[in-house]
Amino acid sequence: MIDLSAYKAIIFDMDGTLIDSMGAHMEAWKQTCESFKIPFDRDYMYGLGGVPTRKTVEILNEKHGSSHSPDEVARRKREVWETMDFIPSLIAETTEIFHHYRPKMQVAIGTGSERAHAEHLLNHHDLLNKLDAMVTASDVTHGKPHPETFLTAARLMNVKPEECVVFEDTDIGKQAAERAGMAYFLVVDGKVKR
Protein backbone atom coordinates (compact mmCIF):
# COMPACT_ATOMS: atom_id res chain seq x y z
CA MET A 1 0.00 0.00 0.00
CA ILE A 2 1.23 3.50 -0.87
CA ASP A 3 2.28 5.50 2.19
CA LEU A 4 0.12 8.63 2.36
CA SER A 5 0.82 9.42 6.01
CA ALA A 6 2.34 12.78 5.06
CA TYR A 7 -1.12 14.06 4.05
CA LYS A 8 -4.39 14.85 5.82
CA ALA A 9 -6.73 14.39 2.85
CA ILE A 10 -7.03 12.56 -0.46
CA ILE A 11 -8.82 13.96 -3.51
CA PHE A 12 -9.75 11.46 -6.19
CA ASP A 13 -10.75 12.35 -9.71
CA MET A 14 -13.66 10.07 -10.61
CA ASP A 15 -13.80 9.01 -14.28
CA GLY A 16 -10.76 6.93 -15.20
CA THR A 17 -9.27 7.23 -11.71
CA LEU A 18 -11.74 5.69 -9.27
CA ILE A 19 -14.40 4.49 -11.71
CA ASP A 20 -13.55 2.78 -15.00
CA SER A 21 -15.87 4.94 -17.10
CA MET A 22 -13.55 6.54 -19.65
CA GLY A 23 -14.28 3.92 -22.33
CA ALA A 24 -18.00 4.63 -22.09
CA HIS A 25 -17.38 8.39 -22.11
CA MET A 26 -15.28 7.99 -25.27
CA GLU A 27 -18.11 6.06 -26.95
CA ALA A 28 -20.61 8.74 -25.92
CA TRP A 29 -18.30 11.45 -27.29
CA LYS A 30 -17.81 9.49 -30.53
CA GLN A 31 -21.56 9.27 -31.12
CA THR A 32 -22.05 12.91 -30.14
CA CYS A 33 -19.27 14.09 -32.46
CA GLU A 34 -20.80 12.09 -35.31
CA SER A 35 -24.18 13.78 -34.67
CA PHE A 36 -22.58 17.21 -35.09
CA LYS A 37 -20.04 16.23 -37.79
CA ILE A 38 -17.16 17.01 -35.42
CA PRO A 39 -13.95 15.07 -36.20
CA PHE A 40 -13.38 12.50 -33.43
CA ASP A 41 -9.87 11.65 -32.23
CA ARG A 42 -10.03 9.17 -29.31
CA ASP A 43 -6.55 9.97 -27.95
CA TYR A 44 -7.15 13.71 -28.11
CA MET A 45 -10.55 13.36 -26.41
CA TYR A 46 -9.12 11.11 -23.70
CA GLY A 47 -6.55 13.83 -23.00
CA LEU A 48 -9.46 16.19 -22.30
CA GLY A 49 -10.75 13.86 -19.55
CA GLY A 50 -11.69 15.94 -16.52
CA VAL A 51 -12.59 19.01 -18.59
CA PRO A 52 -16.30 19.83 -18.18
CA THR A 53 -18.42 18.95 -21.23
CA ARG A 54 -19.31 22.54 -22.20
CA LYS A 55 -15.64 23.58 -22.02
CA THR A 56 -14.70 20.54 -24.13
CA VAL A 57 -17.12 21.76 -26.81
CA GLU A 58 -15.49 25.21 -26.71
CA ILE A 59 -12.06 23.58 -27.14
CA LEU A 60 -13.35 21.48 -30.07
CA ASN A 61 -14.93 24.57 -31.68
CA GLU A 62 -11.60 26.38 -31.48
CA LYS A 63 -9.64 23.36 -32.75
CA HIS A 64 -11.92 22.75 -35.74
CA GLY A 65 -13.04 26.32 -36.48
CA SER A 66 -16.67 25.46 -35.74
CA SER A 67 -19.38 27.21 -33.72
CA HIS A 68 -21.49 24.46 -32.14
CA SER A 69 -23.60 25.43 -29.14
CA PRO A 70 -21.88 24.08 -26.01
CA ASP A 71 -25.29 23.61 -24.36
CA GLU A 72 -26.70 21.72 -27.34
CA VAL A 73 -23.69 19.41 -27.69
CA ALA A 74 -23.56 18.81 -23.91
CA ARG A 75 -27.27 17.94 -23.92
CA ARG A 76 -26.71 15.46 -26.76
CA LYS A 77 -23.76 13.83 -24.98
CA ARG A 78 -25.85 13.45 -21.82
CA GLU A 79 -28.68 11.86 -23.87
CA VAL A 80 -26.25 9.41 -25.51
CA TRP A 81 -24.72 8.50 -22.13
CA GLU A 82 -28.15 7.90 -20.59
CA THR A 83 -29.28 5.65 -23.45
CA MET A 84 -26.16 3.51 -23.01
CA ASP A 85 -27.56 2.31 -19.64
CA PHE A 86 -24.04 1.48 -18.50
CA ILE A 87 -22.72 1.39 -14.96
CA PRO A 88 -18.91 1.20 -15.06
CA SER A 89 -16.95 -0.83 -12.53
CA LEU A 90 -14.60 0.45 -9.87
CA ILE A 91 -10.84 0.54 -10.49
CA ALA A 92 -9.43 -1.98 -8.01
CA GLU A 93 -6.15 -0.29 -7.06
CA THR A 94 -7.55 3.17 -6.32
CA THR A 95 -10.64 1.74 -4.63
CA GLU A 96 -8.35 -0.21 -2.30
CA ILE A 97 -6.50 3.01 -1.45
CA PHE A 98 -9.86 4.76 -0.88
CA HIS A 99 -11.04 2.11 1.61
CA HIS A 100 -7.65 1.67 3.30
CA TYR A 101 -7.25 5.38 4.12
CA ARG A 102 -10.89 6.42 4.55
CA PRO A 103 -11.07 5.68 8.28
CA LYS A 104 -7.91 7.72 9.00
CA MET A 105 -8.06 10.52 6.42
CA GLN A 106 -10.63 12.76 4.81
CA VAL A 107 -11.56 11.84 1.23
CA ALA A 108 -13.08 13.97 -1.52
CA ILE A 109 -13.99 13.64 -5.18
CA GLY A 110 -12.88 16.38 -7.59
CA THR A 111 -14.43 15.64 -10.98
CA GLY A 112 -15.19 17.30 -14.29
CA SER A 113 -18.50 15.39 -14.43
CA GLU A 114 -21.83 17.03 -13.70
CA ARG A 115 -23.11 16.58 -10.13
CA ALA A 116 -26.11 14.37 -11.02
CA HIS A 117 -23.89 11.99 -13.01
CA ALA A 118 -21.25 11.80 -10.26
CA GLU A 119 -23.85 11.23 -7.53
CA HIS A 120 -25.48 8.45 -9.57
CA LEU A 121 -22.23 6.54 -10.14
CA LEU A 122 -20.83 7.03 -6.64
CA ASN A 123 -24.13 6.11 -4.99
CA HIS A 124 -24.36 2.96 -7.12
CA HIS A 125 -20.96 1.88 -5.81
CA ASP A 126 -21.81 2.90 -2.21
CA LEU A 127 -19.07 5.56 -2.11
CA LEU A 128 -21.12 8.77 -2.01
CA ASN A 129 -21.94 8.43 1.69
CA LYS A 130 -18.25 7.88 2.52
CA LEU A 131 -17.08 11.25 1.15
CA ASP A 132 -16.19 14.31 3.16
CA ALA A 133 -16.60 16.54 0.10
CA MET A 134 -17.43 16.36 -3.58
CA VAL A 135 -16.72 19.05 -6.17
CA THR A 136 -18.13 18.61 -9.67
CA ALA A 137 -18.36 20.65 -12.87
CA SER A 138 -21.69 21.92 -11.50
CA ASP A 139 -19.91 23.50 -8.53
CA VAL A 140 -17.07 25.49 -10.12
CA THR A 141 -16.65 28.37 -12.54
CA HIS A 142 -13.35 27.08 -13.95
CA GLY A 143 -12.83 23.39 -14.73
CA LYS A 144 -9.51 21.59 -14.87
CA PRO A 145 -6.67 22.40 -15.64
CA HIS A 146 -7.66 25.39 -13.46
CA PRO A 147 -7.07 24.45 -9.79
CA GLU A 148 -10.53 25.58 -8.59
CA THR A 149 -11.94 22.02 -8.34
CA PHE A 150 -9.17 20.80 -6.03
CA LEU A 151 -8.85 24.03 -4.04
CA THR A 152 -12.60 23.97 -3.39
CA ALA A 153 -12.41 20.35 -2.20
CA ALA A 154 -9.59 21.26 0.21
CA ARG A 155 -11.56 24.24 1.53
CA LEU A 156 -14.68 22.09 2.07
CA MET A 157 -12.59 19.61 4.08
CA ASN A 158 -10.92 22.48 5.98
CA VAL A 159 -7.39 21.40 5.03
CA LYS A 160 -4.56 23.31 3.37
CA PRO A 161 -3.75 22.50 -0.28
CA GLU A 162 -0.29 21.22 0.68
CA GLU A 163 -1.97 18.74 3.08
CA CYS A 164 -3.81 17.08 0.17
CA VAL A 165 -2.75 14.41 -2.31
CA VAL A 166 -4.57 14.01 -5.62
CA PHE A 167 -5.15 10.88 -7.72
CA GLU A 168 -5.69 11.71 -11.42
CA ASP A 169 -5.60 9.92 -14.76
CA THR A 170 -5.04 12.78 -17.22
CA ASP A 171 -2.40 15.40 -17.85
CA ILE A 172 -5.07 18.11 -17.48
CA GLY A 173 -5.90 16.78 -14.00
CA LYS A 174 -2.21 16.62 -13.13
CA GLN A 175 -1.84 20.28 -14.17
CA ALA A 176 -4.80 21.21 -11.94
CA ALA A 177 -3.18 19.45 -8.96
CA GLU A 178 0.16 21.16 -9.59
CA ARG A 179 -1.52 24.56 -9.89
CA ALA A 180 -3.36 23.90 -6.63
CA GLY A 181 -0.01 23.22 -4.92
CA MET A 182 -0.92 19.60 -4.23
CA ALA A 183 1.07 16.37 -4.52
CA TYR A 184 -0.40 13.86 -6.96
CA PHE A 185 -0.27 10.32 -8.27
CA LEU A 186 -1.18 9.43 -11.84
CA VAL A 187 -3.42 6.46 -12.57
CA VAL A 188 -2.47 4.83 -15.87
CA ASP A 189 -4.51 1.86 -17.15
CA GLY A 190 -5.84 1.27 -13.63
CA LYS A 191 -2.40 1.30 -12.00
CA VAL A 192 -1.07 4.00 -9.68
CA LYS A 193 2.20 5.62 -10.81
CA ARG A 194 4.18 8.40 -9.16
Q: Return the active site residues.
A: 13
User: Is-contact 182 162, C-beta < 8 A?
Assistant: yes
User: Is-contact 176 150, C-beta < 8 A?
Assistant: yes
As beta bridge partners, residue 192 has 187
Q: What does the alpha-carbon distance between residue 37 and residue 15 come to, in Å, rounded to a whole number?
A: 25
Between the alpha carbon of residue 126 and those of residues 14, 85, 120, 129, 157, the distances in Å are: 14, 18, 10, 7, 20
Q: What does the alpha-carbon distance between residue 107 and residue 175 come to, in Å, rounded to a whole number?
A: 20
Nearest CA to 153 among 122, 179, 130, 131?
131
User: Is-contact 48 172, C-beta < 8 A?
Assistant: yes
As beta bridge partners, residue 11 has 108, 166
